[in-house]
C-alpha cells in the first residue's frame, strides 16, 4: 500500500472515529443538560429577551404608532360630525 | 506615438491568452448559474465576478506586487529581484519564459523574510499588490473571513430541533463519511496514476463533502491554498445542486415503507437549554479538539449572542451588516484564485468529480446510519432525514421534507431534518479540526 | 497509532492547567453576570466568551505566531528562534521550563525588528498568529477600536442638558478625583509593600474610576497592556454595579433636605448651540491638550455628525453597524488578555479593590462638589446629581434620579443629572490625555 | 516619600488641576457661546435637519403613509354606502 | 514642576504655528459650507473635521511614527534614525531646522526597506503612527476606500435612461475634455512660469474635471498623493457648486430655441438589459483598458448586485452600511492631507483655479457635443443635457432639468440628462485608467 | 514646445481619443445588446427580483400591516355598535 493510501486510511479511521466520539459525547452532554434544565429550571419566563428589545425596533414602532394614532384620530374627528 | 503603441501593447486584446478567455467564459457561466438558476447567488455572484477580474490580462488584480514586477520584468527591477530571490541573472540577459518561470518558482518557495524583501523591491519600482490579492490576504489569508461567516451563521442557527431530539446528532456524524471517503478516493486515484494529489490536497478536497462553504474555504486556505478556487466553486455549486443530487440516492437506499415512517412531534425547548448548548459545545471543543476552536468558537459565539437575548444589537449586526460585507470580500477573494493557470488544470477536473462523490457518499451514509439506529431503537427515525446530515443548511433539510411529502403527503419532516442538518455543521467543523491537527500539527 | 496518540497528547484534557480551568470558570461566571444579571452584556458577553477562547489549551488563540512556535518548541525551530532572539541554545539541548522562560522573556523584551524576524521564523515553520491575537493587534493595538466606540458614543450623546446648565460641567470635573485618588491609593499600597505597581500601572488602574469603558481600554493599552484584561473587566463590572455602589455613598454624604432640593426646569437649547459645542470642545483640546485629541476628536466628530443634521446616514452608521461590529471585536480582544498567566495574579486582586475605591471616591467627590457649589451660588443644585459626574452614562444619571425620587416622589432629576453625566465623559478623556502626556511623553 | 508616591502625588496635582482648568474654561466658553447664539441667532427654524432628513426614514414614512392612506381609503369607501 | 512645564510646552497654545491656525480656520469654513450651505456634507463634514485634527499642534495625528520621532527629535532617537536614514549626525550635535529638514527629506525619499526600518526605530522609542496616518494608509494608500465607494455608487446607479438612449453616452465622453484640457492648462501655466507642476501633478489636477470624488481621490493617490487634500476639497466643493457654475455656460453656448427642444419619451428598459450592461462594460474594460479595471470593476459589480435581483442583501449593504463606514474613514483620511505644510502652497491656488476651469470646460464641451450631434441626427437632443456629462451625479442632471424648465415649463429633461450623467462616471473612470497607464506604466 | 507641454498635448490626444473610442464602442455594444435582448427575450416576468425580496423590507411591511389591521379592526369594532 502506498504511503499516500496508508495516510488516507489512517486519516479516515482517526477522523471518523473522532467525529463519532465527539458527537456521541455531545449527545450525552446535551441530553443530560436538557434533563437538568427541565428539572431545576423548567420553562422560565422569557424575561431576558423581553427586557432588552432592540432599540431600533422600539423607536420604529413608536414612530409607527404615533403616525397611526394621528391618522386614526384625524379620521375619527373628521367623521364625528 | 510611442504612447499610443503603449496603450495597444498594454491592452487586453493584445495580451489575452486562451486560458484567460476560457476562464472568463467559465466565470460568466457561474454568474449565469447564480443569477438565473439561483445557485447560491450570495457567494457565486461575487466569486464569478472576482474570477472575471482575476483574468483581466495585464491588470494583475490577483497578483502581489512582486508577482506584478516579475510579470512586467523590466531589466533593472529583475536585477534587484534576482539578488533578493537568489536567482542567477545578468542585467543584459534576455528574459525568456524559462527565466520568468525561475523567478516565479523562487518567489513561490521563498521564506517569509525573502517575500517581504521582494515586496520592498517591487514597491520601490512602483508596483503594488492587485486589489484582489489584498482582499485575499486580509480576508482569507488571515482566516478571518470564513470565521466571521461562521459567526453570522451561528447567529442564524436554531438548535431547537436538535435539542428536542439529540440522538439525531449521530446522523450528522455519519454524513461526514463523505469527507473522509473522498480523501480515500483521491488517494486511490493517485495510486492508480489517474491524478496526482498529496495528502494535503486530498484532505482539502474531501472537505467539500462537509457541504459547508466557510469550512471548505477555511480548510483549503490552510492545507492547499492553490486549490481554493476550484474547491470553493465545487462546494457552493454542489450545495446548490443538493435538490438534484440527493433524492435518487435517498430513494435507492430506502424502502417505500421506511420513507413513510412518521416521527413524533418535537417537544418544546426551553430558552435556557438553547443558551447552554453553545457553551457546552465550546467546552467540549476546548477539552477534545483545540484545533477546531476558531471555527466552532465563532459559531458558538454567534449562537450564544442570538439565544442569550441581551445582545440583540450584536446578533443582528452579525447576521446582517457584518456577514454581508464579509461575503462580498470573501467572494471576490475566492474569485482571485480562479486564474487560468491555477484553475485550468487536470486537478480541477478531479476536484469536481471527487466533490460530487463526497456529496453522494455523505448523503448515503447519513441515510444508512438512520436505518442502523432504527435497528437498535424502538422510536423509529425516518431515514430520509439522514441525508440532511451533510449540512448544506437549510437546503438538505428541505430536500428531506420534499422527498418525505412525495411518499406521504401528510408527513412533514422539515423540523426533524433540521436537527441532523445543523449537527452536520458541527460535524464537519470537527472533521476540519481533526484534519488540521493531523496534517498541520 | 502515532496519530491517535497525537490527538490525545494534543487534546485539552491532556494539557489543561489548573489556571486555565480557573479562568474558564471565571469567564463563564462573567457570561452568567452578563446574561442573567444584565451586567453590561454588550461588552461582557464577547469579553467572557473571548476569555474562554483564550484559555483553551494548545489552541494558542491569544498568542502570536512566535509565541506559538516557542510553546510547541520543536528543536529546529527553537534553534532558528534562538539565533534571532539571541538566546543561548544548542540544538541537542533538552528544553526545560527555564529554557522556555528564557525564550519568552527574550521575546517580550525584544525590539521591533527582532519581533518581526521572530515572526518570520515562526511563519516559515508553519505557525500563525492566533485569531484573538490578530483581533487584539488590529483593534486595540492600533487603538482604533476604543476610538470608534467613542465615535459611536458621541453620535448617541445629547449635550442639551449640559448646554442648558453649563456649570454642572464642574461636577464632571470633580468626579475625576476618583481617577487620581486611586493612583495615589495604588502608590500607597506599593509603598506599604502590599502590592507592587509601577506608576504606569497605577495610572492605568486609576482610569477605571473614569467609569468609561473605551477610555479605560485606550489608556490601559497605552500604559499597561498586560493589565488590560483585568482593568476592562473591572471597569465594565463596576459600571454595571453603579446602582448598588453609589446610593449608600450618596446618602451618607447628603442630608435628607439636600436630597429634596428641586431644580428649575432646563431651558430649551438651540440647535446651533448643539452644533457649535463639539467644535468648541475640539478647539479647546487642540489648544490645551493635544494628547486627548484622538479620544475627544472622535467623540466630537460623532456628536457633530449627529447634531449637524446633514449627515444622518453617517451618524446612523456610527451608532449602529459600526459600533456593533467594533464592540464584538473589542470584546474578543479584551478577552484575549484574560489568559491565566496574566489574570491569576495578585495584581488583579489589587485592581479589583482599587477599581471599586475609584468608583466610590469619584461618586463622593462629585456629590461634595455639588455641595460646595451650593455654598457659593444662589441657584441650588441637588447634590444627588453630582454622583453622575463619574460618567457610566446613562446608568449613573438614572441612579441620581432614582435616589431623588426615593426622597421626593415629584422630583425628577434625570435630565439635570445628564449634564454632569456627559461632562464626566469629557472629564475622564481629559484625565486620560494628561496621564498619557505626563507618563508617555 | 518614595519615588512612586511623589510621582503619584504630582500626577494627582497636575491631573486634577488640568481637568478643573480645562472644564472651567469649557464652562466659560459654552456660556459665552450660548449667549452669542441666543442673541444673534435665536431659535432658527430647524431648517437644517428638516432639509436633509435621513433617506431611509423618508422612504419608510412614505411607504407607511401610502399603505396607511390606502387602508383608510378602503375603509372610507367600504363605509360610504 | 517640570511636569507642569511639560504640559505647557507641550500644549497647543505654545506650539501652534500661523499655518496651523490658518488651516484650522479653512477647515472650519469647510464645515460651515457643508453644514449650512449643504456642500456635499457627507464628505465635507469628515474632511473638514479631519483637517482640523491634522492641524492640532504636537498631536501628530497625520504623521507616521517615524515622522513623529523626527518631530520630537530626542538626541538618542535621532542618532538611531540617522543610521537608518543615512543622514550625517553626531549625538552631541545641536538640532537645527536644517538638520530636521535633512531628516525629513531623507525619510520622504527613502526606499521601502528603509521606511520600515525607520518605523522600527520609532516604535522602539515609543512613537506610534497618528490615528489619521493609519486611516490614510489603510483606506487610501491601499486604494480600497475609493473602490468601495465606487461599489456603493454602482449599487445606487440606474442605467435605465442610458440604455433607453445609448447615443447620449457620447455626451459623457465629450465632457471629459474638461479633464485633459485642464492638464493642458496646468502645463501652460508651468511653461509660462506662473506655476510649477509636473505632468503627474497636472494629470491629478485635471481629474477634478471628472466631477467624481472617488475617481479624483483614486487618481491623486496614485499620481500625486501630496496634492490629494487640495484636489479632493476642490473636487467636492465644485461638485457642490455645479448649480452655480454650469447655468451661465449652458446659456452662453445655446440659443433659446435649442434650450426648448423637447425630447421623445424614453422607452421602458428590460431587466435583462440592465443585468447585461455592467457585464458588457466589464468585458470592454478587460479588452481595452486593464488599468481602469479596479475602479470600473467595482462599479460594475455594485451595479450587477443591484440589478440581478438575487443578492439584495449584498446590494443593500454596499449602498448603506459599507459605503457609510468607508465615507467616514475616507473623509478623515483626506483631511489628514490638509496639513498646513502641504495645503498652504501656491500650488493649492493653482489647483483651485484649474479645478474650476476643468468644470467649465467639461460643461461646455458636453453642450457643444450635443449641438454637434444634432447636426448629424434627425432626432434632436436638447443640448442642455450635454452639461450633465461631467457627472456630479445627480446634481448636474438636476441642473439640466432646471435650466430646461426655466425655458419651457413643460419640458422635463431630468431622465434624459441621467443618461449622459452616468455615462460621465464611466467616462472619467476611463480617463483615469488612460492617465495611470500613460504615466504610471 | 517644452517637454511638459508636449507630454500634456499627447496625453490629451491619447486620452480623449481613447475615451471617445471606448465610449463609442460602448454605444455600439449597448445598442446591439438591447436589440438582441428585445428580440429574443422581450420583457420577461420580473420574476427574479420578485423571488428574492429584501428580508428586512418584508418583515417591516409585515409588522406594519399587522399593526395596521389591528388598528383598523379595533376602530371597526368600536364603531360597530
Ligand atoms: Na457538514
Ligand atoms: Na468619566
Ligand atoms: Na465624470
* DSSP percent split of chain C into helix, strand, coil, nearest 5: 75, 0, 25
Looking at the structure, do residues A2 and A33 belong to the same domain, yes or no? yes
Residues whose CB falls within 8 Å of the CB of residue C68, separated by 6 or more in sequence, listed in order: C60, C122, C127, C128, C129, C130
Distance CA B345, CA B210 (A): 24
Give pLDDT, residue E62.
Answer: 95
Per the structure, the count of domains in chain F is: 2
Q: What is the pLDDT of residue A60?
A: 39
Q: Which residue on chain C is closest to D29 by alpha carbon? A: C280
Nearest residue to B60 via CA among E437, E352, C250: E437
Q: Which residue has the higher pLDDT, A1 or E346?
A: E346
**What per-residue confidence (pLDDT) applies to C11?**
79
Mean pLDDT of all residues in B125-130: 94
The chain-wide mean pLDDT, for chain F, equals 68
E vs A contact (3+ beta-carbon pairs below 8 A):
no
In 3D space, the residue among E397, E437, E436, E398 whose CA is nearest the CA of residue E171 turns out to be E397
Burial (CB count within 10 angstroms: exposed 0-12, middle 13-18, buried 19+), residue F29: middle
**Co-location of F4 and F37 in the same domain:** yes
As given in the structure block, the three cell numbers for residue E373 are 450631434
> Taking all residues of chain B, what is their mean pLDDT, rounded to a whole number?
92
Residue with cell 491575537: C133
pLDDT winner (highest mean) among B220-234, B335-349, D37-51? B220-234
Verify that A36 and A1 share a domain, yes or no: yes
Q: From the centroid of its chain, how far is CA E44?
A: 12
For residue C312, the model assigns a pLDDT of 96
Contact F72 D75 (CB under 8 A): yes
Residues A39 and A61 in one domain: no
Q: Residue A75: is its pLDDT beyond 60?
A: no
What is the pLDDT averaged over residues C398-425?
A: 93
Interface touch D42/C430, C-beta < 8 Å? no
Per-residue pLDDT at C57: 92
Same structural domain for residues D29 and D52?
A: no
The predicted model gives B328-346 an average pLDDT of: 91
Which-ligand-closest: CA of C396? 2
- Note whether F39 and F2 are same-domain residues: yes
Q: State the burial class of residue D50 (Cβ atoms within 10 Å of its Cβ: 0-12, 13-18, 19+).
A: exposed
Q: Residues in chain B, how many?
A: 441
Under the banding of pLDDT at 50, 70 and 90, the label for residue B11 is confident
| Half-sphere exposure of residue C240: CA atoms within 13 angstroms, side-chain side | 18
What was the ipTM of the complex prediction?
A: 0.89
Distance, CA of B379 to CA of B381 (rounded, Å): 7
If you average pLDDT over every residue of chain C, what do you get? 92
Query: Which of B53-57, B351-355, B376-380, E9-13 holds the top average pLDDT?
Result: B53-57
Which residues, chain by chain, have CB under 5 Å from ion ligand 2?
C 210-212, 391, 424, 428
Whether residues A56 and A35 fall in one domain: no
Task: Give me the pLDDT at residue E13, please.
Answer: 82
Integer angstrom CA distances of residue B33 from B296, B349, B351, C71: 31, 19, 19, 48
The mean per-residue pLDDT over the stretch E4-30 comes to: 87
| CA–CA separation, C220 and C334 (whole Å) | 11
> In Å, how far are C78, C101, C110, E4 from C98, measured between CA atoms?
14, 5, 18, 45
D18 and E38: CB-CB below 8 Å? no
Q: Please choose, from the candidates E174, E186, E199, the residue with its C-alpha nearest in 3D space to the C-alpha of residue E383.
A: E174
B39: left (phi over 0), alpha (psi -120 to 50) or beta: beta
Confidence of residue A58 (pLDDT cuts 50, 70, 90): very low
Q: Name E347's Cβ contacts closer than 8 Å, sequence gap at least 6.
A: E195, E196, E197, E201, E227, E230
Inter-chain CB proximity D68 and A64 less than 8 Å = no
* F37 & F56 share domain: no
Q: What pLDDT shows up at residue D78? A: 46
Question: In 3-state terms, chain D is what percent helix, strand and coil (to 5)?
Answer: 85, 0, 15
pLDDT of residue F71: 45
Global confidence as pTM: 0.91
Q: Which of B438, B392, B427, B432 is nearest to B219 (CA)?
A: B432
Angle at B140 between CA B134 and CA B141, to 5 degrees: 75
Q: How distant is the alpha carbon of residue F49 from its chain centre?
A: 11
Question: A27 and A1, same structural domain?
Answer: yes
Comparing CA positions, the residue from F23, B22, B331 lying closest to residue E292 is F23
Alpha helices in B289-394 (DSSP H): 293-308, 312-319, 321-335, 340-343, 346-376
- Closest ligand to residue C206's CA: 2
Kindly report the nearest CA distance between residue D14 and chain E, in angstroms.
7
Residue B1: pLDDT band by 50, 70, 90 thresholds? low
What would the mean pLDDT of B174-196 be, rounded to a whole number? 92
Q: What is the pLDDT of residue E123?
A: 94
Please state, in angstroms and rounded to a whole number, the distance separating the CA atoms of residues E254 and E367. 8
Identify the weakest region by mean pLDDT among B162-166, B309-313, C13-17, F26-30: C13-17
Tens digit of each residue's pLDDT (9 = 90 or more) over B388-415? 999 888 899 999 999 999 998 888 999 9
Model pLDDT, residue B410? 86
**F57 pLDDT above the threshold of 80:** no
**What local confidence, expressed as pLDDT, does residue B145 receive?**
95
Report whether pLDDT(D61) > 60.
no
Task: Look at residue D66 and tell me whether its pLDDT is greater than 60.
Answer: no
Is the same domain home to A51 and A79? yes
Residue with grid cell 442610458, as numbered in its chain: E162
Ligand at minimal distance from the CA of E211 is: 3
Q: What is the DSSP string of B235-290?
A: HHHHHHTHHHHHHHHHHHTS-HHHHTPPPPPPPP--HHHHHHHHHHHHHHHHHH-G
Q: Does position D68 have pLDDT exceeding 60, yes or no?
A: no
Residues F52, F75, single domain; the answer is yes
Measure the CA–CA gap between C433 and C439, rounded to whole angstroms.
10
The C-alpha atoms of residue E283 and residue E24 are separated, in whole angstroms, by 46
| Ligand 1 mean position, distance from CA C363 (Å) | 54
- Taking the C-alpha atoms of residue B108 and residue E43, their distance in angstroms, rounded to an integer, is 42
Residue C90 CB neighbours (<10 A)? 10
- Which chain D residues are within 8 Å of C420, Cβ to Cβ? none
Q: Is E194 helix (H, G, I), strand (E, B) or coil?
A: coil
Q: Are residues F67 and F31 in the same domain?
A: no
Is the model's pLDDT at A74 over the cut of 90?
no
Q: Residue E249's Cα: distance from chain center in Å?
A: 24
> Is the Cβ–Cβ distance between B161 and B311 less than 8 Å?
no
Disruptive mutation site among E190, E199, E267 for chain F (greatest number of F CBs within 10 Å): E199
Distant-in-sequence, close-in-space partners of E410: CB < 8 Å, separation ≥ 6: none
Residue B92: per-residue pLDDT:
81
Domain that holds residue D3: 1-43
What is residue D56's predicted lDDT score, i.e. its pLDDT? 38
SS3 state of residue E110 = coil
Distance C224 CA to ligand 2 centre (A): 19
Q: Is the pLDDT of residue B335 over 70?
A: yes
For cell 463590572, what's the residue?
C237
Rounded to the nearest angstrom, the distance between the alpha carbon of A57 and the centre of ligand 3 is 40
- How sure is the predictor about F73, in pLDDT bands with cuts at 50, 70 and 90? very low
For residue E379, the model assigns a pLDDT of 86
For residue C4, give how far its alpha carbon lies from the nearest alpha carbon of chain A (Å).
7
Interface of C with A in 288-327 (CB under 8 A): 320
pLDDT attached to residue C417: 94
pLDDT at E3: 67
Amino acid at each position: 500500500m502506498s504511503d499516500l493510501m496508508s495516510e488516507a486510511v489512517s486519516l479516515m479511521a482517526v477522523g471518523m472515529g473522532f467525529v463519532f466520539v465527539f458527537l456521541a459525547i455531545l449527545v450525552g452532554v446535551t441530553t443530560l443538560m436538557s434533563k437538568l434544565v427541565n428539572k431545576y429550571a423548567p420553562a422560565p419566563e422569557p424575561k431576558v429577551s423581553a427586557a432588552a428589545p432592540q432599540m431600533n425596533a422600539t423607536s420604529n414602532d413608536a414612530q409607527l404608532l404615533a403616525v397611526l394614532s394621528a391618522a386614526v384620530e384625524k379620521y375619527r374627528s373628521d367623521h364625528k360630525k | 506615438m510611442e504612447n499610443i503603441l503603449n496603450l495597444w501593447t498594454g491592452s487586453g486584446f493584445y495580451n489575452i491568452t486562451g486560458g484567460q478567455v476560457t476562464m472568463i467564459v467559465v466565470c460568466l457561466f457561474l454568474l449565469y448559474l447564480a443569477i438565473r438558476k439561483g445557485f447560491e447567488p450570495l457567494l457565486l455572484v461575487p466569486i464569478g465576478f472576482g474570477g472575471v477580474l482575476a483574468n483581466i490580462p495585464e491588470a494583475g488584480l490577483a497578483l502581489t506586487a512582486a508577482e506584478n514586477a516579475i510579470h512586467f520584468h523590466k531589466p533593472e527591477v529583475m536585477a534587484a529581484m534576482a539578488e533578493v530571490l537568489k536567482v542567477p541573472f545578468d542585467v543584459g540577459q534576455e528574459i525568456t519564459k524559462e527565466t520568468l518561470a525561475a523567478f516565479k518558482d523562487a518567489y513561490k518557495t521563498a521564506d517569509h523574510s525573502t517575500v517581504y524583501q521582494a515586496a520592498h523591491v517591487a514597491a520601490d519600482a512602483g508596483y503594488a499588490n492587485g486589489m484582489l490579492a489584498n482582499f485575499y490576504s486580509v480576508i482569507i489569508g488571515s482566516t478571518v473571513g470564513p470565521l466571521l461567516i461562521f459567526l453570522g451563521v451561528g447567529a442564524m442557527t436554531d438548535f431547537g430541533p436538535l435539542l428536542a431530539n439529540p440522538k439525531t446528532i449521530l446522523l450528522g456524524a455519519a454524513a461526514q463519511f463523505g469527507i473522509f471517503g473522498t480523501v480515500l478516493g483521491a488517494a486511490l486515484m493517485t495510486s492508480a496514476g489517474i491524478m496526482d494529489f498529496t495528502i494535503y490536497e486530498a484532505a482539502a478536497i474531501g472537505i467539500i463533502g462537509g457541504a459547508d462553504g466557510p469550512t471548505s474555504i477555511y480548510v483549503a486556505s490552510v492545507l492547499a491554498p492553490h486549490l481554493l478556487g476550484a474547491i470553493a466553486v465545487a462546494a457552493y455549486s454542489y450545495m446548490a445542486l443538493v435538490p438534484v443530487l440527493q433524492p435518487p440516492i435517498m430513494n435507492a437506499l430506502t424502502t417505500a415503507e421506511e420513507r413513510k415512517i412518521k416521527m413524533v412531534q418535537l417537544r418544546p425547548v426551553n430558552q435556557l437549554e438553547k443558551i447552554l448548548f453553545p457553551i457546552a459545545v465550546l467546552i467540549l471543543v476546548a477539552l477534545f479538539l483545540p484545533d477546531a476552536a476558531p471555527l466552532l468558537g465563532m459559531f458558538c459565539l454567534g449562537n450564544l449572542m442570538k439565544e442569550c437575548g441581551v445582545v440583540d444589537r450584536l446578533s443582528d449586526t452579525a447576521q446582517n451588516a457584518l456577514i454581508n460585507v464579509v461575503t462580498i470580500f470573501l467572494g471576490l477573494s475566492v474569485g482571485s484564485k480562479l486564474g487560468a493557470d491555477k484553475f485550468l488544470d487536470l486537478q480541477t477536473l478531479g476536484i469536481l468529480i471527487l466533490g460530487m462523490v463526497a456529496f453522494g457518499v455523505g448523503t448515503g451514509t447519513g441515510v444508512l446510519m438512520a436505518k442502523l439506529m432504527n435497528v437498535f431503537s424502538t422510536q423509529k427515525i425516518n431515514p430520509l432525514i439522514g441525508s440532511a446530515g451533510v449540512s448544506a443548511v437549510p437546503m438538505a433539510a428541505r430536500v428531506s421534507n420534499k422527498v418525505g411529502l412525495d411518499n406521504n403527503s401528510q408527513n412533514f419532516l422539515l423540523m426533524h431534518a433540521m436537527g441532523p442538518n445543523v449537527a452536520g455543521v458541527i460535524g464537519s467543523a470537527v472533521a476540519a479540526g481533526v484534519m488540521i491537527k493531523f496534517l498541520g500539527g
